[in-house]
Amino acid sequence: MHIHQYGAELEKPFAYVADGSPFAVTDSYFQRLHELKTAVGTAPELVHAGDRTVAVLDSLGTEGLESSFVLGESSLNPVASNQGGLQGLYERITTSQSQVVSVLAEQGGGILNMSNNPLIKRNKQNIEAFGIPKPNSIARNVRNWRFGATINACAQNSPSTSVEVYKAAEAANVIIGLGSAFIALYANSPFNEGRPTSWQENRMDLWPTYFADATLPADRKLHYPPPVPFNNLRDYFQWMFRSETSVFSMKYTVAGNPSLLEFFEMEEWDAEAYPGGESLRIKPTMGHLATHQLMQFSGARVRFGLAEGLAESGVDDFLGAMAGRHDEVEAYMDSVIDYMYIEARDPGANFPDRALAEEDSTAARSMLISPAALQAGLLNNIAEASALLEQYDWSTLMDARKGAAISGLDATVGNHTVRDVCRQIIEVAGRGIATDEQWMLAYPQYVVETGKNGAVRARSLYEQSNGSTPLERIGSAVKSRIAVLPSLL
């Protein structure tokens, strides 16, 4: 019997409490977190990059940074269903949130309840002020990915749910296919670079901007969703590593920029070290497959961990499985991995603030755990979730992703609205989690019932503001959306 594991990565825009402007953390932030964690006995360790402290690790997970000093990331270790499950994950999330909020408050900062910081402009000045230096980056300097696109603290709440290998492709279909509902429920960035916009979730424009000037045309498609659902893991890997994609390494460039599957077809390849330019010969290994599992940026990824010692093994058996016609890839992967899970990427970051806590305390309390609960419920009830998915045309669902980013619940999916889809996934997910976990769906239920996701509530504050300019009105809205301590909910 499969023992479910539940984890999450929560990205957190840091802002000054006084005015909502970006708050760049320093070494003292991590040192204070280290002190708090030491006091409660979770065995923390500081992590350094050059002369900067960039994270603290402990038994709960990692408190670090995503792409800048104004965007934190809480990466929480998974909790097994027989060791606490979703309730255990909720406790980890709230412990992490309490520690981060407390330390930031000591320094005049807080977590902004937005999925970006609309007071940050994506310009050279802010990239230099807030960005984490990456001077020798192939992605930046060779493939021309625009790291500055992330400087405005675009943030997501990314749940991870373990899956059986033979169910992984089906699970990916469900989470990618129903992504418009997750986008609409958690849309929380209606402003961008000091301006109000027509979009509810400007965060969804991150990857098109990030890859817009990529040197390799294939890189500009890394965020595109699949054109058809997957029948199996062979389909998934063929889509990810198809001929028009390019192999990637942070340490060298491969002659001819082959796709990963093309790279696997030859015993060795000429390559050039980066930086430096020394000539290399690179032999494909299963470690390359593990590294490349991150190389797509659509609504969900299939993630896995190779068993110890297999990263340096050859790829002939994998290629043999890929040449099959049935579930040979599943059988092979089942024999070489320690775990597999679905990492969702569509829910925008939302954090309980004072206004929502006063309006609906249960919705506020469930906000941080609800993406994980929704995903867990769908994947625990995957037969019904797949049946729901089949009620809609796949291409229509993919088109609805952009519609949901613009119009939220009011976007259309064929003859239905995204709000209809949201109602359906909440019902299906509710039948996939335990009775004492039902409260974890309170926030998405609140959004569907009231029509007020984070973006709608933020726009309401903007409209009520007495500011004389759009920037002043955004500033007024933002500074009232600072996350509160979980203990206050």
Mind giving me the DSSP string for 383-415? HHHHHHHTTS-HHHHHHHHHHHHHHGGG-EETT
How far apart CA 305 and CA 301 sit, in angstroms, is 13
pLDDT of residue 349: 98
pLDDT at residue 243, rounded to an integer = 81
Q: Exposure of 439 by Cβ count < 10 A (0-12 exposed, 13-18 middle, 19+ buried)?
A: middle
| pLDDT at position 217 | 86
**Under-50 pLDDT residues of the chain:** none
426-454 pLDDT, tens digit each: 999 999 999 999 999 999 999 999 999 99
As a whole-number percent, the residues of the chain with pLDDT over 90 amount to 94
Residue 171: both structure tokens together? 């699970």
pLDDT at 242: 85
> With pLDDT > 70 as the criterion, what percentage of the chain qualifies?
100
Q: Are 27 and 34 in contact (CB under 8 A)?
A: no
CATH number of the domain bearing residue 455: 3.30.590.20
What value does the mean pLDDT of the chain take?
A: 96
d(CA 353, CA 454): 11
Count of domains forming the chain = 1
Residue numbers of the domain that contains 262: 5-488
Determine the pLDDT at residue 135. Answer: 67
How far is it, in rounded angstroms, from Cα 412 to Cα 425? Answer: 16
Residue at token pair 């390494």: 249
* 139 backbone dihedrals φ, ψ, rounded to 5°: -60, -40
pLDDT at 221: 86
